A and B are shown apart, each in its own frame.
Chain A
Amino acid sequence: MEEVHEGVRYRPYKSELDLPDIVGQITSELSEPYSVYTYRYFIHNWPELCYLAYDADTGRCAGVIVGKLDQHRMGHLRGYIAMLAVEPAFRRRRIGSHLVRLALASLQQQGCTEVVLETEVTNGAALNLYERLGFIRDKRLIRYYLNGVDAFRLKLWLA
């Protein structure tokens, strides 16, 4: 369902026609490369965890989030935020936080008990965003990314 919040329209993924916006946002903002298979793997299996944000005035795509949910080897349901990107021109408006909240609500509704993601240790903005939502830095992954940078695995436990 769609909602408008502070001049930004949020809606879940609808169809293949959304893919150019999603790919465009992720490719331009994130350093790691993803093939079209990766996008389709996430979005077609978990469309309810993919949200897009559009500027309510101009209709321009402002941000996107992609995630998944499956059973952890310990038996509980674990959510994963695979990609989150916000267009630079639309930053500092809490669009990223809102996208994450939408994804978390959807995960919680499906019985998810914990959510994880990885982010670069140097990505201060992402760390602030997720820590404000209650994520903690669970592990440090040495040389995780292709560019040799370490990553933090962030984790949030849902009630």
Chain B
Amino acid sequence: SMTSSSNDSQQLGQLLQEPGSQQQQQQQSDYSDITEQFKSAACHLQLGELLQHQSFSLYDAMTAIEMMEPKMDSGMRLDREILHPQRSAGGPLMKLSDLTDAELLGVMDESLACLASWLDGESALQSVFINLYLQCIDKIECQPLRTFCHGLLCLLQRAKDVITLANTTDEEDFNPLLYGFEAAAAQAADDERITSALKEADDDIGRQVKAGQLAAGHRLVQHRLRLLRSLLLLLRQFHRMLQAMGGGGSADLPDSALSVTSAAAIDTAELVSPAAAEAAAEVRRQLESASSACASVAASLEVGQPAAGRDDPRLKAYGVQGFEPLANLRQLPPSFPRCVRVFERPAAVAYLARCLDCLRQFLTDVTPAACPSYQQLYTRLALVCGLSSDAPCFARSCLRLLYCCPAQQQQLHNYGINLGLGSARLFGRHSPVEFLLASVKQFCPIAAGADLNASVRQLQGQSRQLADSLCLQLGRALLHQVCPLFSRNRSRKREKLAACLDALWPLYESCYCLDRALFPNDECRSLFLPYLTFYLFRLSRLYLLSGFSLQLYARHELPSVYFMLGDGYMYFLLVGIVQADLAIQQQLQLTHNPYTKLSRQHHRYHQQVQTLYQHHLSMLRASNYLATATFYALAALHSDGKMQQLASPHQAGESSSFKHRYQPLLQRPFLPRSITCYTNLQTMWDSRTTFNGELDDSELDEGQQRKPASTPADVYAEATREFEKARDALVKVVNTASSSAGSNSKSAPSLATVCIEDWDGEAMIKVAKTNMVVTKLLAAGHRAGPQHPAELDFSVCPHYPVIKLLAPTAASSTAAAAAAPSSNGK
């Protein structure tokens, strides 16, 4: 029953209601107080007796709101009179005309701040639509403001269309709901009319300022109008570029089709059509305009009226004309009040500028000059994927659409409706199978031969069926799963990495069988297997490294992480690729005849491509060395009593935790099974932390067995040798890339552009060098023992720590004296 509440509550309720509605409500409703009847009925229940319907779920329980509970009832935040889009329009806090420069700029800048916050994941109701002018645009008499509001709504719709079409965001990244304001946004859908209106308003201001009718300060308003207009034009051109990519009749081709008439021409296939390249050039022109307008806005943010009430709850108003954060509470579904953070204006403009910068970087590749054929695509894709990790979600959505553009014109026509990207094509026209064959050929040209597709098609019977099926599955997995995963946020990317591994590992055996079918007379020659293994290596490595940025690893888990990154796990994958590489090298030598010009040319080309692949392999091998060195260093630090945190606090369940932690990597063909892997880890750790001489490392591979250490100094010395090996390998890799960058080789892509995700060669060299010196000192007995504790510093490189020796403290000295020698524990 609606019992009478306090006068304050009644007044607050009236603030939310339309004029006259309360009376109207009373006329329609017939209330009666049933408190006594309720109490009488309830007294028949026993203490603790509960009536619960089967359908009452946890979700229902969690979303129930206790009215007037401040933590749950958003309405309790209403502690003042709030602005209303209809009632307050024209009043002193929501002027419709005669706004001063500061007031007008305040509205526009705060709107941009809300727009950036919405793009960053805030709800539109609590960001963009706290600008009440958007709810009564037709009443606005100030022409620049009215046009700005139309433009903002149009931009909202266009940006939402791009993000929804790309389907690369999750609920925590972006909230596409417009909560009943779809109609308002749809009214502003005609962006051609609106961009014209924005231009007209811009020109009008210019004329009036020149004629002295408006103050010079109004020029700052022009910058805001230009920014909005350039963003709208940018999105329009981006859409046209997608249409140009997705056209050309590729819509009806199956996933196995090739876009070229001759498969041998894959090498020189034009990846980007001239029409798409021209559209991309137009997008870049608009990008420059938008960036320029952004910079102008950023330089004049202090002029607009500040939102003083945003952070100071004592103030009764937001501080900007027409802004009311609490106005839309009734539109929100009943939910708990969520903390919303609107960007500060400089941060908002910087966010928009970053979106534009990312897009510019991504678009640089979509030109015939930068990406003429599949030869350059491989390195470009790696470079872009590496850059996309921290990009704003709008930029990531654009990246996804750029590389995996829907081929279906219908999808683009239904701009804004997410139809999934199952028919996605590389640059809108190249099928997954074509992408795969070209990529495999780039990976191993000497093994692939001149026409890989022909070689595959020459297979007969079951081999042919296997080839067709494998190419389709692998091509789809790479184009539709591996490429798009770089457009996800960091947390979801880790989940998608695990899903990619699950999708690729089952193809391992098929790749081996296909290689044997392609090269029946040469047991050492392989193509698809090392290619797949290479991707598995990179994805596994990325999966392990992603735990660092997400802060998933507790200190005591670090030894197992480096064990997996080093000799414990990655080593096995690396061995497979290295063996294939050796076979390729041998074949290269066999086919090279230095006496013919053609042979010399081919040899140079293949050497350059092989050098590219080997450089990539060298980077991975170097990081492998560094991981192994870090493992040994951690073992030494633990055995020396310097880092007690490395001991596992819960040894009983450790093997179970290990198995689940690395579940996406373990239980795979030819790799150590989880229990074996864990046993190896324990044995390798114990052999470096247990000094009772009774070591049993017979279960380890011969390469991993070692003479038992007798003191921590021996383990430090071992770590020093490994860090030295890592340093040498890293320096070689970095120097090779630098010398390649300086060379004038045009035919092959520069080694400097080979980007492996989460790789920072310089930082890793610094870590290796520093740790080499530290472990060398410790091996010599300098600052030995637990009275000189150590700490791990991840500020230089987020994946490999620098060992820092801390100053001895009284506590550590006492603890060192009382502590027993360390033994088991990881």
Contact = CB atoms under 8 A, between A and B. Distances in A.
B47 A15 contact: yes
Chain A interface residue number, banded: 35 or more
B650 interface: yes
A100 to B, nearest CB: 12
Nearest to A147: B339
Contacts of A41: 52, 56, 58, 61
Contact of A33 (B71, B554, B659): B71
B535 interface: no
Given A143-B121, A155-B660, A134 B650 contact: yes
Given A33-B72, A37-B64, A137-B552, A16 B47 contact: yes
A142 interface: yes
B775 to A, nearest CB: 28
A144 B656 CA distance: 27
Nearest to B49: A16
B47 A17 contact: yes
Contacts of B341: 148
Contacts of B650: 131-134
Interface string B65-105: 11001011000000000000000000000000000000000
A117 interface: no
Contacts of A36: 66
A122 B5 CA distance: 40
A2 B299 CA distance: 68
B62 A38 contact: yes
Given A33-B69, A143-B121, A134 B652 contact: yes
A145 B69 CA distance: 18
A146 B337 contact: yes
A136 B495 CA distance: 16
A142 B489 contact: yes
Contact of B50 (A38, A40, A152): A40
Nearest to B546: A140
A62 interface: no
B62 A157 contact: no
Chain B interface residue number, banded: 35 or more
A158 B61 CA distance: 28
A139 B664 CA distance: 14
A152 B65 CA distance: 26
B491 interface: yes
Given A16-B47, A44-B50, A157 B61 contact: no
A121 interface: yes
A125 B58 CA distance: 27
A22 B338 CA distance: 25
B653 interface: yes
A29 B336 CA distance: 18
Interface in B448-492: 489-491
A56 interface: no
A146 B553 CA distance: 25
A79 to B, nearest CB: 14
Contacts of B586: none
A159 B650 CA distance: 13
Nearest to B556: A131
B339 A146 contact: yes
Interface of A: 15-17, 33-38, 40-41, 44, 68, 121, 127, 131-134, 136-144, 146-148, 152, 155-159
A-B pairs, 5 with minimum CB distance:
A134-B650, A33-B71, A16-B48, A41-B61, A142-B172
Interface of B: 47-48, 50, 52, 56, 58, 60-62, 64-66, 69, 71-72, 121, 172-173, 336-339, 341, 489-491, 494-495, 550-554, 556-557, 649-650, 652-654, 656-657, 659-661
Given A33-B69, A35-B66, A136-B660, 18 more contacts: A34-B62, A37-B61, A38-B58, A38-B61, A44-B52, A121-B551, A131-B649, A134-B654, A137-B553, A138-B552, A139-B491, A142-B489, A146-B336, A148-B338, A155-B660, A157-B657, A157-B659, A157-B660
